[in-house]
Amino acid sequence: MKNAIILLLIFGPQLLSIAQDSIFIRRIYDEALLRGQAHENLRQLCKDIGPRLSGSAQAQMAVDWSYEKMLSYGFDHTDRQPVLVPHWERGTTEAAWFKTHQGKIIRVHLLALGGSVGTNGLLEGEVIEFKQLSDLQKASPKEVKGKIVFLNQPMDASQIQTFKAYGACYAIRGNGAVEAGKLGAKAVLIRSLGLPEDEHPHTGSMHYEAGIEKIPAAALATTDASALAAALQKGKVQFYLEMDCRDYPDVLSANVFAELKGSAYPNQIITIGGHLDSWDTGEGAHDDGAGVIHCLEALRILKILGYQPTHTIRVVFFMNEENGNKGGQGYAKYVKQNGEQQIAALESDRGGFAPRGFGLDGPDSYLQLLTSFEPLFKPYDLHIFEKGYGGVDIGPLKEQYPGIPLFGFIPDSQRYFDYHHAPSDVFEAVNKRELELGAAAIASFVYLLDKNL
C-alpha cells in the first residue's frame, strides 16, 4: 500500500493530465463530427466564391468572405494584412491538336502553366520527345531548335508516398521552359503531374530566366500525353497550340487572420493555416480550400469548447502560395517587425483526405514532443509522427525565427494527385467525414502543442 501511495504521488498528476487530455480530445472530435461547420464552409468557399488565383476578382471575394466568416465566430481578434501579389490570367480557353504522320488530327486536353506567355495566335511545330529533363539538358540546339519540346516523364507509381513521386518530376514543370528555351525550342509541353490516366490536365507554376527567350509552356492530360507518345513511335508529329495567357501589374491583396489570445503569453504566437488562393481551373477544394477550412474549424472548435489557450493561437489564410508565396514571405516579415514571438507553426496543404499524422520541420529537440502525442491519437487512427515537412506558407518563418518548429498536417496522399491543380479539384471531390476528421486532428494537435510548449 505504501508503495502504491508513493507511485500515486509521483505519477498521479501526470496520469490525471493524460486523462484530462483524452477527455478533451474526445470532445473536440464530437464537436467536429456531430456539429461541425467545415463541410458547409468549404462549400461556400468553392461554390459561392470559386477558383481563387492571386490577383483575380474571385481572390478578392475570398478575402472578403474569409474576413466576414472569421468575424462571425467572435474570435478575440480578426484582421487583414495587405500583400502585393502577382496577377497572371489564362485568357481564353486553350486549344491544341496534333497531326500524326498519316495526317490524322487529334484534339488534346491542355492547360497553360501558370506564368506562361501566350502563343500570339496559332503556334505550329514538329514535336520532339524527351523522357525526362536530364535528357533535354543533354540535347544539342541542332536537335531542338524550332521544334516543340515534349517532356514525357510520368510520376513514379511505385512510390508509396505520392509526394515523393511528385517531387521527382516537378522539375519538368518548373524548369522545362528554361531548358527548352536555351536550345531554341518554340514551346514546351509536359505530361501532367498526376498519377491517373485521365483527361484532366494539371496546371501549376513555372518560371523563366533573364536572358533566355520566354516560350509558351503547357501541360497535357495524361491520356493525351500517352497518345502523343504513341503517335511519335510511328512517325513525325506536328503540334498546333493557341494560348492567350499574359501577365498584368501586381495587385494589392491580403492575408486574413484571426486569433484566440493567450492567457499567460499573449505575445507568443502559434500560427496555423493554409493558402486561400488556388489555381483557376477547378475550385481549389483540396488545394487548399480544405487546408484553410481545417484550421478555421480547429480554432472555432477550441473557442466553442471554451478552451483558454496559454499562448495566442492564430489562424492565417495566406494569399499567393501557388505562384509566388508573397503571403507567406510577407507574413514572416510582418510578425517580426511587430516584435511578435512566433514559437511554432502548423500548415495544412495536402488535401482534405483522411488524417494520418504530423511531420516536423525543425530541431530534433521537438521530435520527442511530437512523438509524445502519439498515444493520445492512437484511438483516432493517426500514426505518423516523424521528421518531415512543414509547408510553403510557414517556411519563411524559419528565416525570421531560427529554430522554430514547423509542423505539417499529413492526410492520406493516395488520391491527392488525382486532383492537384486540375479542373477536377472541386467541392464534390472532398469527403465530408474525412474533412471533419482532419479539422479535429488539427484542433487536438494545437491543443496539445499549446499545453506543452
Domain identity same for 304 and 417: yes
Of 193, 218, 244, the residue at which a domain comes to its end is: 244
**Per-residue confidence in pLDDT tens, the chain, 453 aa:** 555 455 344 555 666 778 899 999 999 999 999 999 999 999 999 999 999 999 999 999 999 999 999 999 999 999 999 999 999 999 988 999 999 999 999 999 999 999 999 999 999 999 999 999 999 999 999 999 999 999 999 999 999 999 999 999 999 999 999 999 999 999 999 999 999 999 999 999 999 999 999 999 999 999 999 999 999 999 999 999 999 999 999 999 999 999 999 999 999 999 999 999 999 999 999 999 999 999 999 999 999 999 999 999 999 999 999 999 999 999 999 999 999 999 999 999 999 999 999 999 999 999 999 999 999 999 999 999 999 999 999 999 999 999 999 999 999 999 999 999 999 999 999 999 999 999 999 999 999 999 999
Same domain, residue pair 179 and 239: yes
pLDDT of 12? 56
Cα distance between residue 441 and residue 160, in whole Å: 23
> Is residue 273, in this structure, part of any structural domain at all?
yes
Q: Output the pLDDT for position 17.
A: 79
Residue 375 resides in a domain: yes
Q: Say how many domains are in the chain.
A: 2
Q: What is the reported pLDDT for 158?
A: 96
Domain-embedded: residue 264: yes
**208 and 237 fall within a common domain:** yes
Are residues 316 and 192 located together in one domain of the fold? no
**Same-domain check for residues 128 and 208:** yes
Chosen domain end from 244, 275, 305: 244
Q: Are residues 446 and 299 in the same domain?
A: yes
Q: Is residue 20 part of a domain?
A: no
Q: What is the pLDDT of residue 14?
A: 65
The domain that contains 322 carries what CATH number? 3.40.630.10
HSE-CB for 313 with a 13 A CA cutoff:
29
Same domain, 97 and 83: no
Residue 84 shares a structural domain with residue 226: no
Amino acid at 219: A
Q: Please give, one letter per residue, the 3-state secondary structure of the chain.
A: CHHHHHHHHHHHHHHHHHHHHHHHHHHHHHHHHHCCCHHHHHHHHHHHHCCCCCCCHHHHHHHHHHHHHHHHCCCCEEEEEEEEEEEEECCCCCEEEEECCCCCEEECCEEECECCCCCCCCEEEEEEEECCHHHHHHCCHHHHCCCEEEECCCCCCCCCCHHHHHHHHHHHHHCHHHHHHHCCCCEEEEECCCCCCCCCCCCCECCCCCCCCCCCEEEECHHHHHHHHHHHCCCCCEEEEECCCEEEEEEEEEEEEEEECCCCEEEEEEEEEEECCCCCCCCCHHHHHHHHHHHHHHHHHHHHCCCCCCEEEEEEEECCCCCCCHHHHHHHHHHHHCCCEEEEEEECCCCCCCEEEEEEECCHHHHHHHHHCHHHHHHHCCCEEEECCCCCCCCCHHHHCCCCCEEEEEECCCCHHHHCCCCCCCHHHCCHHHHHHHHHHHHHHHHHHHHHC
* pLDDT score recorded for residue 7: 38
Q: Are residues 259 and 176 in the same domain?
A: no
Considering the entire predicted model, what is its pTM?
Answer: 0.95
Residue 9 forms part of a structural domain = no
Domain membership of residue 12 (yes or no) is no
Q: Which of 244, 269, 291 is the last residue in one of the domains?
A: 244
Residues 207 and 301 occupy one common structural domain = no
Is 3 contained in some domain? no
**Domain region containing 231:** 91-244
Cell numbers linked to 222? 495524361
* pLDDT at residue 92, rounded to an integer: 86
Residues noted as catalytic: 321
Domain identity same for 130 and 31: no
Q: What would the pLDDT profile of 333-360 be if each residue is shown by its tens digit? A: 999 999 999 999 999 999 999 999 999 9
213-253 pLDDT, tens digit each: 999 999 999 999 999 999 999 999 999 999 999 999 999 99
The model's pLDDT over 64-93, given as tens digits with 9 standing for 90+, comes to 999 999 999 999 999 999 999 999 999 988
Q: Do 314 and 233 fall into the same domain?
A: no
d(Cα 422, Cα 201) in Å, to the nearest integer?
6
Report yes or no on 8 lying in a domain. no
Residue 113 near residue 206, CB atoms below 8 Å: yes
CATH of the domain at 200: 3.50.30.30
